[in-house]
A = this chain, B = another copy of it.
Amino acid sequence: MFENRTEIRVRYADTDQMGVMYYSNYLVWFEVARTEFFRSLGFDYRALEKEREIYLPVAEVECRYRASLRYDDLATIVSRVKNVGNSRLVFEYEITLGGKTVTTGLTKHAFVNRTGKPVAIPEDIREALIRTIPSE
């Protein structure tokens, strides 16, 4: 299975008064991981939007917080494709620190055009995404 690993450090701004990374910031990290996932497959998500006018908004997110991250922690996000449909895509994430799972999550996306209408995933992208899933 193809997966992307991205290292990312907790910023002071990410913390809250409980002394740990605030819970919504993990979703920002998921988005960083998606950008890097596409890059590692050879696709530039920025160009996808700008040149091909295809967008990938989030339709659903789930996140489970198992442990905390603190300021200056250098964590790893592993991201992989769980599922590819005709115009839908599901990503899975695992955030680890020192080999220990901190957070897991998933995001469900629809490929849409500029007006927000669902479109079929372009064939070159669809094939590359499917190739990352060994069992399909």
Contact = CB atoms under 8 A, between A and B. Distances in A.
Decide if the interface of chain A is mainly helix, strand, loop or mixed: mixed
A17 to B, nearest CB: 4
A1 interface: no
Nearest to A36: B9
A62 B65 contact: no
Number of copies: 4
**Chain A contact patch, size range:** 35 or more
A91 interface: no
Given A17-B49, A17-B71, A27-B27, 9 more contacts: A12-B22, A12-B35, A13-B28, A17-B20, A24-B31, A57-B68, A59-B64, A60-B62, A61-B62
